[in-house]
A and B are shown apart, each in its own frame.
Chain A
């Protein structure tokens, strides 16, 4: 199935980089640089994959799906200090103000950041002729994540560096019949 996938690895990487850069530049006025791309083959996909980030610590995972000509789901994994820093920048608030508001504010900010990244990714797919609709973002807090897709899909993991920390963009995508 992966061999017949209509988007090349190069194109997918460019889509990932463009969507992350566009959101980080516009909303956070900061740069995120691609550090590593991990291609997951079919065998590894079934076994489950370790993320290139310390998953024993608490991570925030933002998720948005898209349905249409191409269907998929994108996860963003980020540790709490980076999530907090990102929330402060996005909302123009100080850390103590965000802490006062509670977890929900950070969750919502990372959810919206994911929504914007996936939105940009999806819009680029639409421009390539794959019209899709997005799902509502959801957010998880936890550690030791393992993602095993129910169906065979193309999976690529991109690790980005930003302001001394790293975060991960995990893309699962398949072509609809």
Chain B
């Protein structure tokens, strides 16, 4: 739901500039020309924030603010003064009545948006219903690292993906980059000099455009003190070096909310494959389970009635994978879908060890499995 911003200013110019400033955010900007109109509008629409001028005809900003703060229904609405009036006395007088911030004209639109976003949850326009990116869509990853070898390593590690990896070596370069282009994810070395990672973290989080960009800390496994400080500063995810790329890829996918179903599910003309990767850990099993119902539903809607579970690359068959396959096969039966299994020698051997899977029949290729249905 978009937020409501009420601008109270006798100048149409300022109201237009405010509207322009918030154009790229998911918000509705409402206008009032003086304190009387401002109070009436506030009572009517209950805005999330008010931007208030001081010098206005009919009722000035100080009077409106005083009345607003004495009205139980309106007093909690945060107010930012946006005025050409500064000076110690003025600011002190207004601060006593209760304002969240004070912006002196002339002002940069970015500053206005940043200050407002510190008070209310301001999201970029369209983000309320984001177009979910798929695993094979290009996403932009910014790596802030003063060691070029690590940047190269990350670029190489994601070579098999369509992801764009951009490397910068300082916080200044990172800020410049984010101003030009908001990345989908930021990886930041925690060992940058002078706690630069924590400074950058705060800057990124306080900027309206970047506040929701997933941010991972990069740290040597043994550097527990810097990891602890980073966690205290607010880093929720820390990737340890040497980097486990499948794990990092997985974490980025989740943080960016990528639709990763393409890694496992393939729809052909008359059948669907569910391909399990070589490392089939709990995270993978969970991911496949989450997509299973939706993807089988899509297959049914597409007129597909055959499903091949491809476990040819799986290194070993454990109980987690068996449970996943049992659940998948039940779902197929419920939806009247035909299915078959494809697996390698190890998988076949492993399947014999469990009561639940000892009778399963595996084919040695997807084609053979398809033929067998």
Contact = CB atoms under 8 A, between A and B. Distances in A.
* Chain A partners chain B: yes
Interface of A: 22-23, 26-27, 90-92, 104-105, 108-109, 111-113, 115-116, 118-120, 122-123, 126-127, 131-137
A116 B104 CA distance: 9
B84 A27 contact: no
A108 B20 contact: no
A113 B17 CA distance: 12
Interface in B76-101: 83-90
Interface string B105-143: 111100000000000000000000000000000000000
A91 B16 contact: yes
9 contacts: A91-B17, A91-B20, A105-B13, A112-B14, A113-B13, A115-B84, A116-B105, A134-B55, A136-B55
Nearest to A90: B13
A3 B31 CA distance: 47
Most buried by A among B12, B85, B106: B106
A102 to B, nearest CB: 11
Given A91-B13, A108-B11, A136-B10, A126 B89 contact: yes
A115 B84 CA distance: 7
Lowest 10 A-B CB distances belong to which pairs?
A119-B84, A126-B87, A26-B106, A112-B13, A123-B86, A112-B11, A109-B13, A23-B106, A27-B106, A116-B105
Interface string B5-28: 000001111101100100000000
A123 B104 contact: yes
Contacts of A136: 10, 55-57
For the side of the interface on B, what is the size category? Answer: 20 to 34
Contacts of A126: 86-90
Interface of B: 10-14, 16-17, 20, 55-57, 83-90, 104-108
A120 B105 CA distance: 8
Contacts of A104: 12
Contacts of B13: 90-91, 105, 108-109, 111-113
Given A92-B20, A109-B13, A136-B55, A131 B87 contact: yes
Contacts of A91: 13, 16-17, 20
B87 A122 contact: yes
B79 to A, nearest CB: 19
Contacts of B89: 126, 131
A92 B104 CA distance: 20
Say whether chain B's binding surface is mostly helix, strand, loop, or mixed. Answer: loop
A96 to B, nearest CB: 16
Say whether chain A's binding surface is mostly helix, strand, loop, or mixed. Answer: helix
Given A26-B108, A135-B55, A105 B84 contact: no
Nearest to A92: B20
Contacts of B86: 119, 123, 126
B115 to A, nearest CB: 15
A119 B85 contact: yes
Nearest to A93: B16
Nearest to B111: A26
A105 B12 contact: yes
A137 B9 CA distance: 12
Given A26-B108, A126-B86, 14 more contacts: A26-B106, A90-B13, A108-B11, A108-B12, A115-B84, A116-B105, A119-B85, A120-B106, A123-B86, A126-B87, A131-B89, A132-B87, A133-B85, A137-B11
B247 to A, nearest CB: 46
B187 to A, nearest CB: 33
Contacts of B16: 91
A26 B107 contact: yes
A122 B84 CA distance: 9
A126 to B, nearest CB: 3
Given A26-B108, A119-B86, A123-B104, A90 B55 contact: no
A116 B17 contact: no
Contacts of A111: 11, 13
B11 A123 contact: no
Nearest to A111: B11
A113 B13 CA distance: 9
A137 B16 CA distance: 17
A100 B67 CA distance: 38
Contact of A116 (B56, B88, B106, B108): B106
Contacts of A132: 87
